[in-house]
Amino acid sequence: MKLHDERRDYEQGQLRRNQLPQNPFELFADWFTQAQAQANSPDPTAFTLATVGADGQPHQRIVLLKQVDATGFVFFTNYTSQKGQDLAHNPLASVHFAWLGLERQVRIEGRVEKLDSTASENYFSSRPRGSQLGAHASEQSRTIESREQLEARYHQLNSDFAGKDIPKPEHWGGYRVVPSLFEFWQGGRYRLHDRFCYRCDNSLAATSPWRITRLQP
């Protein structure tokens, strides 16, 4: 594999200080809408979530954004998974959206809190039945001998719940990332990319003022 010559120029857009809204959620909403509108851009809601385990080892994985508003970024998962264990130990996370078709990335850091169980139940009940069964069948992040065992569990649950509503498993629900930092990155000519950081001491990000700084590329 020859990777030395794999590169491209970033020339689609620019980000200038005088274009920036005071509130980073507004800029996020603009960029997110553009990512969703972009043809051939699979999974614009997908983001990488980084957490840190009790031993200091970082772990990352992709999850899907299911809600964003002035209170933060919501995703759903299994609370006993690796990420759930990491967050129980250290409720800080880093989120990364890569919208490479637009030559953009957004980095978000903040505190993570569990959604209340009613909100999780509401979302769970809106999911397709197959996904609901999957959430019951999988002890996410634990080892299992074979796929057959997993499918057998799924089919067993399918018959156990036949004709009934499927309740949300106790160990499954949402998390909200409440940001204290956003970084917006727009690829630029000559590798002189535009990077702007928004910081907020108060985790009540919706109402407190954000300090904006430009970072060197």
Ligand X SMILES: Cc1cc2nc3c(=O)[nH]c(=O)nc-3n(C[C@H](O)[C@H](O)[C@H](O)COP(=O)(O)O)c2cc1C
Question: Site residues (CB under 6 A) for ligand X?
Answer: 43, 46, 59, 61-64, 75-77, 81-83, 140-141
Cα 160 from Cα 182, distance rounded (Å): 45
Cα 56 from Cα 52, distance rounded (Å): 6
Nearer to ligand X, 34 or 85 (CB): 85
CB of 60 to ligand X, least distance (A): 8
Nearer to ligand X, 61 or 199 (CB): 61
Cα 91 from Cα 61, distance rounded (Å): 16
Do residues 49 and 86 make contact, with C-beta atoms less than 8 angstroms apart?
A: no
CB of 4 to ligand X, least distance (A): 29
Neighbours of 2 (CB within 10 A): 5
3-class secondary structure, 140 = coil
CB of 152 to ligand X, least distance (A): 21
Nearer to ligand X, 140 or 203 (CB): 140
107 tagged catalytic: no
Nearer to ligand X, 73 or 76 (CB): 76
Question: Considering 17, 129, 142, 191, which one is annotated as catalytic?
Answer: 191
59 forms beta bridges with 51
Neighbours of 19 (CB within 10 A): 11
CB of 49 to ligand X, least distance (A): 8
Residue ranges of alpha helices (H) inside 143-206 are 147-160
Q: Give the active site residues.
A: 191
